[in-house]
């Protein structure tokens, strides 16, 4: 045992360096400096001294995973539940650094407020008595980072559909964090882990909330400094007061699309050059840098809007997530759709004689481009200009007809009623078989009805699953908060007797078992939103109404006489009434 000069909190009993005056747990003024005995560990040559140690009486450190600027990360196993977890310990040399301690426990506070399938969750945190180090216990996830996936790709970039599927999940994680008042501030490929879940590859886990900040919290970094990675820092952080806003994470998401699809960020070079470009240069469009026909125009427009200089003009995380889901759905439908075969008569084509040419092979050298590691840096802002150069940004207007307005619903109901009358009239006018045009439109209407039923059933099942998911997520988060509260009580409350402490430990173990059971149920449920299905149903309904209106037009223009003439004229009058240009109709309806 060695003696160290420390101050002790009279309320919770925690010890601090002598330069600290107030307890970070309860805010009490610390007592006078005194000697405190710290366990002395004798070093064993060639072996990590922390391996085999038990943290928080429950987590046995089994493997060293790596280190960051302030912490050491280990794989650990829960002694009672045999569950793998990740444990982050503050580096011993930073124990007396006030700013490092504050940032370490701010990360704990930030992580404890988020609970999302695409975010690595915090399980426990505190100050361990055996090692003498502050610790965080987090979800343990096996996989590779997005940075490694891009680097290991043979082409040095990811296919558009894969990048889009990954970054939609990243956007959902950012949306959840923003809804909880958390700004990540260091969104980059190195902090996005890709794992496998329930047989699905590229399941996203967002890592490292070490520099994250709650909205309204004061900064930990010094005055005139910001934390982040140069290639992904938003321009508004480099000028003025550098106020941290959620829009900064959306700017980083736009850079991520360039990094994943093109293979490198839009701005590169020395630190000074990159920061200057962020402030003064409009980034090139995705399609300008990488002319891939698989890149949807809507995605190119969205990424451009994410990278505008004015943070107020960027879409929110919620808006971005909805647009990305629709873009991904359209892209998957486009890739899975089979071409339509048109029946055409066989023709004999004349043979075109062309001379044979010998084409010389083109010599192309393979160049290996290194993707250097990008550390999170503290960047000074004192020498940068205080105003942004005005930029001319052309924004794409998002068009979209309403899908649930009362006018559209009324229009669809009238079209359906008139279609039923038109079918009856068609059977009376066409005593034999219907003309081909009527057959095709009738088949189109029937096919739309079939799709509506199938999609509506899927929507009902999805909404039921999402309700179950919300309940499981609420239970998961509630149990996690109870575990954190019990752990803190066991650490702080020195008045607990041995029997009471044992009882609390048993209660803690029961809650931990329930927590992991809830996590299994939570993970089995889909993370998707029903918005995409709702849009598809609305599109099918529009197609159905348009086919019904075209069917009606053909019927009212067919020649007839006698009693059928009056019935046809009544149908034409009703069609003219709902087809009045002053009324709202579905997008794509044909006007007379």
Task: Give yes or no for a contact between 183 and 249, defined as CB atoms under 8 angstroms apart.
Answer: yes
Place of tokens 């647009």: 323
* Token code pair at residue 383: 């020498």
Beta bridge partner(s), residue 579: none
Contact between residue 250 and residue 232 where contact means Cβ atoms under 8 Å apart: no
Strand blocks (E) in 9-127: 15-17, 34-38, 54-55, 59-67, 71-78, 84-90, 122-127
Which DSSP helix (H) or strand (E) runs through 408? helix 406-429
Residues 6+ apart with CB under 8 A from 74: 50, 51, 61, 62, 63, 64, 65, 86, 87, 88, 89
Tracing tokens 């559209």 back to the chain, one arrives at: 408
228 phi/psi in degrees, rounded to 5: 160, -175
Which of helix, strand or coil describes residue 481? helix
Question: Tokens 């490198």 label which residue?
Answer: 264
579 is catalytic: no
Work out the burial of residue 88: count CB atoms within 10 Å of its CB; fewer than 13 is exposed, 13-18 middle, 19 or more buried.
buried
- Which of 186, 208, 539, 543 is the catalytic position? 186
Cα–Cα dist 125/109, whole Å: 9
- Give me 105's structure tokens: 């426990």
Q: Cβ–Cβ contacts within 10 Å for residue 474, how many?
A: 13
Burial track 569-584 (b if 16+ CB lie within 10 A, e otherwise): eebbebbeebbeeeee
Task: Give the pair of three-digit tokens for residue 156.
Answer: 């040095």
Query: 3-state DSSP call for residue 133?
Result: coil
Report the catalytic residues.
186
């Amino acid at each position: 045992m060695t003696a160290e000069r420390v101050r002790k909190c009279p309320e919770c009993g925690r010890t601090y360096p002598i330069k600290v005056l107030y307890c970070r747990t309860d805010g009490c003024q610390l007592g006078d400096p005194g000697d405190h005995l710290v366990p002395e560990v004798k070093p064993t040559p060639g072996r990590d001294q922390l391996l085999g140690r038990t943290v928080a009486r429950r987590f046995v450190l089994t493997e060293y995973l790596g280190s960051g600027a302030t912490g050491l990360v280990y794989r650990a196993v829960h002694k009672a539940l045999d569950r793998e977890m990740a444990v982050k310990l503050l580096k011993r040399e930073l124990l007396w650094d006030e700013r490092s301690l504050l940032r370490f426990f701010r990360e704990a506070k930030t992580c404890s407020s988020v609970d999302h399938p695409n975010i690595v969750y915090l399980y426990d945190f505190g100050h361990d008595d055996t090692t003498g180090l502050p610790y965080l216990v987090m979800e343990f996830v096996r996989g590779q980072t997005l940075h490694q996936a891009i680097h290991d790709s043979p082409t040095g970039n990811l296919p558009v559909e894969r990048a889009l599927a990954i970054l939609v999940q990243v956007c959902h994680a950012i949306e959840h964090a923003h809804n909880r008042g958390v700004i990540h501030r260091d969104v980059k490929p190195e902090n996005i882990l890709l794992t496998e879940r329930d047989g699905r590859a590229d399941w996203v886990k967002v890592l490292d909330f070490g520099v994250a900040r709650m909205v309204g919290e004061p900064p930990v970094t010094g005055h005139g400094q910001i934390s982040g990675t140069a290639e992904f820092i938003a321009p508004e952080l480099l000028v003025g007061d550098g106020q941290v806003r959620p829009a900064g994470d959306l700017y980083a998401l736009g850079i991520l699309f360039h990094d994943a699809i093109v293979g490198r960020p839009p701005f590169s070079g020395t630190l000074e050059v990159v920061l200057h470009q962020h402030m003064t240069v409009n980034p090139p469009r995705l399609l300008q840098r990488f002319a891939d026909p698989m890149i949807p125009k809507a995605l190119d427009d969205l990424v451009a809007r994410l990278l505008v200089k004015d943070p107020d003009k960027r879409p929110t995380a919620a808006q971005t997530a909805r647009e990305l889901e629709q873009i991904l759905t359209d892209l998957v439908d486009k890739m899975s759709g089979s071409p339509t075969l048109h029946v055409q008569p066989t023709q004999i084509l004349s043979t075109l004689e062309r001379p044979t040419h010998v084409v010389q092979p083109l010599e192309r050298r393979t160049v290996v481009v290194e993707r250097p590691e990008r550390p999170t840096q503290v960047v000074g802002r004192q020498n940068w200009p205080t105003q942004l150069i005005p930029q001319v940004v052309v924004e794409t207007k998002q068009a979209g007809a309403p899908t649930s307005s009362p006018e559209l619903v009324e229009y669809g109901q009238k079209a359906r009623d008139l279609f039923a009358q038109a079918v009856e009239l068609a059977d009376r006018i066409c005593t034999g078989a219907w003309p081909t045009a009527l057959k095709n439109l009738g088949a189109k209407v029937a096919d739309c009805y079939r799709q509506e039923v199938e999609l509506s059933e899927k929507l009902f099942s999805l909404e039921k699953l999402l309700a179950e998911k919300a309940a499981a997520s609420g239970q998961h988060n509630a149990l996690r908060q109870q575990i954190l509260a019990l752990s803190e009580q066991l650490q702080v409350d020195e008045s607990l007797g041995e029997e009471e402490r044992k009882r609390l430990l048993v209660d803690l173990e029961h809650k931990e078992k329930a927590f992991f059971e809830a996590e299994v149920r939570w993970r089995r449920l889909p993370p998707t939103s029903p918005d995409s299905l709702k849009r598809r149903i609305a599109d099918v309904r529009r197609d159905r109404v348009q086919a019904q209106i075209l069917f009606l037009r053909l019927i009212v223009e067919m020649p007839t006489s006698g009693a059928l003439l009056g019935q046809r004229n009544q149908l034409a009058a009703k069609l003219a009434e709902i087809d009045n240009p002053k009324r709202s109709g579905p997008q794509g309806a044909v006007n007379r």
